[in-house]
Structure 1
């Protein structure tokens, strides 16, 4: 193996090693990093926001992708980092599947589509069906390298697409980098809202500002009779959560089949239907977030 190959690329090849879990071999002493990593900014990136949800299946990755595209549409130099090591979605949403190249300084070069620079663990896997079977220390090392070993080439804003939950990944990111804040995505479903509150509590505990809450899949409008229905209940409960926790309600994204279809074909709504009500909803949310973090308005 050439000495210039990134350590993250090396780690991805462990998936096909005879010892995929990285267990210590007989006669060897495992090495563990002691203490917490030092929090520092991501090089050449002015602002970083996290898009998170404590529950899966609420459309967080779709919202994150469309927000990054909305920032780019507003004229900002934008990137998105897929920090979901076990279930990366960005390669599909951005219709990208090439392997990233390396700079002479051994930094990963992002793949770009629709004017947004992207990086994902999915680019380092052999195919879409390959799973990542890693223990915690390997997961945290991969996250550290994705955060600090990518050459973004200068960004106004980087969007982090986090995995669902309130565990190792979220804590590691809060400890390693300077975040401008977190956007929480939920549906109006009672169980999703309950978990959203847990996500709010987590970010408060790690002292990361809460930028606001996005209600996804809020209202379905029948294409035949044009009747609007709140499939998971009204928005009152979401606004109530925002008031209770002193955070802003950033907006509604409707439940529409085109949003899912756009993502599945690798051309998200902000690109494929920018003037639709759903496309404008993402751009409006991006404007609000940009104002909150001091991103210059275009």
Structure 2
């Protein structure tokens, strides 16, 4: 590991007016053959908010918009990306590195389930081993010509999110929430972690915001009244999308047809716009 030098030329580790000690650089170099323009983390303060579905839909939306996308599944103990895309093959390596598996629509995917003999086998590893695997998904996998690489992270602020924040060159993160009272607390945790790590926050995505009844055309707030606008205002963040509960979309994920599912791209307009701005 290398150390970042302080901007103060007179800095010493023992005494410095700018910092108390040199900062350690945990960044990991990508594979020499990789070419990734933007790396986007998809995070949530708690589980069960549909973060992996949002990751999948974001990749599909940008792919449909004409960009080359990939997904690094960093949720090592709860991987669900391959199932959503109906990927049953296994990733393989050659003399150059590990080759991600392509979905039917051409999205590059790398997940621990693509390396296991049986995808239902549990991954019973300690935190440091899991964190190292995530780093290898960046350093040993050949991500060739990818415009947007989405990193699906496990919920919370534990080892893996910390590893991704420190080791991967994140250009921004999307924070996925749900319309519940405690959302303000869990979002605050994710926001503060990103701020402490100097990671740009692109905005908030509220999932399960409402259910649109096809029989009477009314919207019902199944999980309670939304608090996303208040949370966004408190942290000075944009709300990029408010996504409805869609049973058809959930079934498509379960059946491995996320790329074939019909969903309203206009609901993703804010997300697509924020991501396009990163490329200029």
Whether the TM-score (by the shorter chain) exceeds 0.5 is yes
TM-score by length of 2: 0.86
Question: 2: CA distance between counterparts of 1:48 and 1:168?
Answer: 19
Secondary structure in 1 aligned to 2:182?
helix
Match of 1:83 in 2: 74
Question: 2: CA distance between counterparts of 1:292 and 1:204?
Answer: 20
The 4+ residue runs of structure 1 with deviation greater than 6 A are none
What do the CA deviations read for 1:2-45 (whole angstroms, capped 9, x no partner)? xxxxxxxxxxxxxxxxxxxxxxxxxxxxxxxxx76335467310
2:206–2:243 CA contact under 8 A, matched in 1 = yes
Question: 2: CA distance between counterparts of 1:41 and 1:135?
Answer: 24
Match of 1:257 in 2: 247
Which residue of 69, 81, 99 maps to 1:109? Answer: 99
Match of 2:266 in 1: 280
Match of 1:216 in 2: 207
The count of corresponding residues between Structure 1 and Structure 2 is: 254
Moved more, 138-147 or 65-74: 138-147
Cα distance change of structure 1 residues 159 and 120 upon mapping to structure 2, 3 Å threshold: same
Cα distance change of structure 1 residues 242 and 40 upon mapping to structure 2, 3 Å threshold: farther
Which residue of 247, 253, 260 maps to 1:271? Answer: 260
Deviation at 1:183, TM superposition (A): 0.2
What do the CA deviations read for 1:63-83 (whole angstroms, capped 9, x no partner)? 000100111101111111100
Task: Judging by fraction of residues, say which structure has more helix.
Answer: 1
What do the CA deviations read for 1:193-220 (whole angstroms, capped 9, x no partner)? 4212211111111110000000111111
TM-score by length of 1: 0.81
Match of 1:246 in 2: 236
1:166–1:199 CA contact under 8 A, matched in 2 = yes
2:28–2:139 CA contact under 8 A, matched in 1 = no
Match of 2:11 in 1: none
Secondary structure in 2 aligned to 1:47?
strand
1:70–1:286 CA contact under 8 A, matched in 2 = no
1:146 aligns with 2:146: no
Match of 1:5 in 2: none
Structure 1 gap ranges (5+) = 1-34
Secondary structure in 1 aligned to 2:99?
coil
2:241–2:271 CA contact under 8 A, matched in 1 = no
